Structure 1
Amino acid sequence: MNYFQFIRANGVMVVFGIMMTALSSFGQTFLLALYVPFLISDFSLSNSSVSSFYGIATIISASLLPKVGKLIDTVPIKPFTIATTFLFAISLLTFSLATVWWVIPISFLGLRLAGQGLYSHISITAMSRYFEENRGKAISLASLGHPLGQAILPAIILIVIGIIGWRESLWLNAGLVTLIVIIFTLFILKDKHLQPEGGEINVSPGVSKEKKIRQRDIIRSKEFWLLAPNVFFIPFATTGLFFYQISIVEFKGWSEGIIAIGLSAYAVAGSVSILTAGPLIDRYRAKTFFPWYLIPFFFAILGLWVIPNTWSMFVYMILMGLSVGFGSAILAALQVEFFGKKYLGSVRSIFTSMMVLSSAVGPALYGIILDAGWGWEMVFPINLVILVPIIIQSFRAMPRFTRAKWKFKYKRIKARWQIHPS
């Protein structure tokens, strides 16, 4: 089944997945950052104060996600989505009505928990749980909402803010999110759309139906520690690099105008790699590709560090987009392959929490290094040094038969070369 056939057969679920990831943008850093200048002006705050509020809210959100996110294993997905939407809308309205500074971190907490955390969690959990043979395609299509939101929403929000003001734009955001999600969930998403593709949802391999997997058991498993470094690194590095992208451009001596073009290249590369990953996962399993997807990220950072030419920005953005896009599909599918589907909400909420936490740690750590005067000459090699052991340990996830097959092919090629060296 190709993408067109899959969309034709599962259009409602595909729209639901893309809708939830795209609307999660209202709780993501790249959109909330647009409101920072207005917060500084209206509340007489400093940049460090706003970033501290944001960081604290993100860390608290990460700590709450495992407890809240696992409820999707016991609460039907439609009421869970509606409840999350009300939290999201209330947070947006609270943000717009803020008159004292302490309301800002409370609003940030709701937006980070409901938007960045739970909306993405709902989307990918639904795609992972209700699809079996075409899980890769389902996850890839749903993940397209992220680059879609990044490409479209910032420009629209800036125009809306310019016309009606920043507070009023938040009212509009809250109204649109509530209206779109509630109408779709109540009137378009039917029970027939929420039937597992592969039949009844089973527990993970080796676990009896009577035994419940606790989150502490998940954290203690070898599969968790195999995935954890990869899950942590991507949002850690990308958030830090995007947060200080102007500083990077200044370090390289380039014009700031190159950033917008680079981000477009990043979005296109990410979308292409997401769509490429889906059929490959369905055919060969995610484990087969797990060790490889971070390698383009390594060369992206290496190229940005050592190549002085302007074109290295595009190489950097394209390679990073390929890694992030492919990795988002790979990691989501691997969580099902490693832990099964019955307790997927508990599993995904832990990893989503880790991703949210790492997105707060990245900018903070980069900021400390830069403030210490070490500069990007230190940040880039630190990222590379971290990446190498993560890539190496990822090969432990590769199926044994795949490694044996590659070794066999290598020996055949080597033998042919020895016979016909020319």
Structure 2
Amino acid sequence: MTALSSFGQTFLLALYVPFIMEEFTLSNGLISTFYGVATIVSAAMLPKVGKLIDTVPLKNFTLATTALFVASLLFFSFSQAWWYVPIAFFGLRLAGQGLFSHISITSMSRYFEANRGKAISLASLGHPLGQAILPALILVVIGKIGWRESLWLNAALVSLVVTVFTLFAVKPKHLVPESDEEVDSLTEEKKIDKVRQRDVMRSKEFWLLAPNIFFIPFAITGLFFYQFPIVEFKGWNPGIIAGGLTAFAIASSTSILTAGPLIDKYSARTFFPFYLIPYFIALMVIWLVPNTWAMYVYMVMMGISVGFGNAIVAALQVEFFGKKYIGTVRSLFTSIMVLSSAVGPALFGIILDAGWGFQTVFPVSLVMLLLIIFQSMRSIPKHSRAKWKFKLNRIGKNKDPGQSNR
């Protein structure tokens, strides 16, 4: 489902934009407005719809979401006027980008415990898989049979894979927790009859997580949206983008698989403040280094942060809020992610249109990121801080000048 959510993601929908603009005589400003409004409305709907996964049987919720996704793809393919486009965008963003990813990661969070990190990592692997394979395939299909007909194939693929697997492969015996034992951090959820999203938003854990969850899609979607202007700003050949995206997909996949076992061994809380540091390095490199190799360092470092972040943030939501109402919690954070993916391109576009250029975009992004990294340090458990302090003191004593002279 994470791989098939690509049909509702920006990087694939962008392939259809030139055809839509030509077919209905739409301007860049108008099509981006349609897309932005549809994304914002879907983000507003996600908390209400996404929390139903806590009360509606998983099979029913998955099939209903798939029906909406397929209907949106078909509606898009039968577009006869400009007003079809924002409606189709809304359905694709809600069901595809939002709910398909939400169902996948929420299920891994709920039904796995000792191996939760590994399960989330494997499920998250669908995102870079879709990014690496589907764009090239879609472009070939569009070239062979047309953009409308390619949407029929997309709808058939989503419908066939998810529906058949949900109906015939997922059995009730599979939908049980990995362990019936409750870990200490989750004992409080037994006392809670119902969790409301406004209660989640009042918690300190929410305000610890929210800036991180907002920033990554905000910055990465914004910078991906303007990747050709970035290459032009640096004076590089546009052909370097394809190699950079491949490096991004490889780094993201590798870091996702690495993150899972580390989370299961040490907990997500331990790594939370540090997964954004590679992205900080990435922004510094793309801003300050003029050489073409900077593009690959930028993409690799960004991929490392995205891969680790996907697994760490998903696991941390369970560590903070428990798994009983994880659907309610995750739908709220997913809506923030979807909203930020609409805000990023818009804000960066305003900065560029104002004539400030990437010499302003990159420093602004770096300052925001640095503040988020510092506030994330509050997540580190006190016993971990004490252990690190003890080890540092021991290192300091071992380097005592008197001892070294002897």
Query: Into which bin does the TM-score normalised by the smaller protein fall?
Result: over 0.9
- Show the 5 A alignment for 1:195-344: 195-199=176-180, 204-344=186-326
- TM-score of the superposed pair, with normalisation by structure 2: 0.98
Q: Which of residues 373, 385, 390 in structure 2 aligns to 1:391?
A: 373
Moved more, 381-390 or 200-209: 200-209
In structure 2, the residue matched to 1:121 is: 102
Task: Give 1:209 deviation, angstroms.
Answer: 3.5
CA RMSD of superposed structures (Å):
1.2
Answer yes or no: is the 8 Å Cα contact 2:189–2:322 preserved in 1.
no
In structure 2, give the amino acid aligned to 1:318: V
- Show the 5 A alignment for 1:20-169: 20-169=1-150
Task: Give 1:389 deviation, angstroms.
Answer: 1.2
Matched, 1:186 2:170: no
Q: Which of residues 377, 395, 409 in structure 1 aligns to 2:359?
A: 377
Task: Give 1:211 deviation, angstroms.
Answer: 2.7
Answer yes or no: is the 8 Å Cα contact 2:283–2:366 preserved in 1.
yes
In structure 1, give the amino acid aligned to 2:196: R
Answer yes or no: is the 8 Å Cα contact 2:351–2:357 preserved in 1.
yes
Q: Which runs of 5+ in 2 are unaligned?
A: none
Q: Which runs of 5+ in 1 are unaligned?
A: 1-19
Matched, 1:400 2:382: yes
Task: Give 1:204 deviation, angstroms.
Answer: 4.1
Q: Percent identity?
A: 70
Query: Whole-Å Cα distance in 1 between the matches of residues 255 and 206 of structure 2?
Result: 25
In structure 1, give the amino acid aligned to 2:384: T
Query: Whole-Å Cα distance in 1 between the matches of residues 320 and 121 of structure 2?
Result: 18
Matched, 1:350 2:332: yes
Query: Whole-Å Cα distance in 1 between the matches of residues 307 and 266 of structure 2?
Result: 18
Query: Whole-Å Cα distance in 1 between the matches of residues 155 and 87 of structure 2?
Result: 16
Q: Residues 346 and 201 from structure 1, CA distance in 2 versus in 1: closer, same or farther, beyond 3 angstroms?
A: farther
Query: Whole-Å Cα distance in 1 between the matches of residues 168 and 188 of structure 2?
Result: 39
Answer yes or no: is the 8 Å Cα contact 1:219–1:225 preserved in 2.
yes
Following TM superposition, the consecutive aligned residue runs of length 4 or more in structure 1 with deviations greater than 6 angstroms are: 200-203
Answer yes or no: is the 8 Å Cα contact 2:54–2:327 preserved in 1.
yes
Query: Whole-Å Cα distance in 1 between the matches of residues 118 and 312 of structure 2?
Result: 11
CA distances 1:246-289 after superposition (whole Å, capped 9, x unpaired)? 00000000000000000000000000100000000000000000
In structure 2, give the amino acid aligned to 1:401: H
Task: Give 1:206 deviation, angstroms.
Answer: 2.7
Answer yes or no: is the 8 Å Cα contact 1:296–1:322 preserved in 2.
yes
Query: Whole-Å Cα distance in 1 between the matches of residues 6 and 97 of structure 2?
Result: 7
CA distances 1:112-153 after superposition (whole Å, capped 9, x unpaired)? 000000000000000000000000000000000000000000
Answer yes or no: is the 8 Å Cα contact 2:259–2:311 preserved in 1.
yes
Q: How many pairs align? A: 403
Answer yes or no: is the 8 Å Cα contact 1:201–1:341 preserved in 2.
no
Give 3-state SS (helix, strand or coil) of 2:290's partner: coil
Query: Whole-Å Cα distance in 1 between the matches of residues 51 and 378 of structure 2?
Result: 28
Query: Whole-Å Cα distance in 2 between the matches of residues 67 and 249 of structure 1?
Result: 40
Give 3-state SS (helix, strand or coil) of 2:399's partner: helix
Give 3-state SS (helix, strand or coil) of 2:396's partner: helix
Query: Whole-Å Cα distance in 2 between the matches of residues 404 and 319 of structure 1?
Result: 30
CA distances 1:31-64 after superposition (whole Å, capped 9, x unpaired)? 0000000001000001111111000000000000
In structure 2, give the amino acid aligned to 1:413: I
In structure 1, give the amino acid aligned to 2:43: A
Query: Whole-Å Cα distance in 2 between the matches of residues 208 and 299 of structure 1?
Result: 42
Query: Whole-Å Cα distance in 1 between the matches of residues 17 and 182 of structure 2?
Result: 44
In structure 2, give the amino acid aligned to 1:303: V
Answer yes or no: is the 8 Å Cα contact 2:54–2:326 preserved in 1.
yes
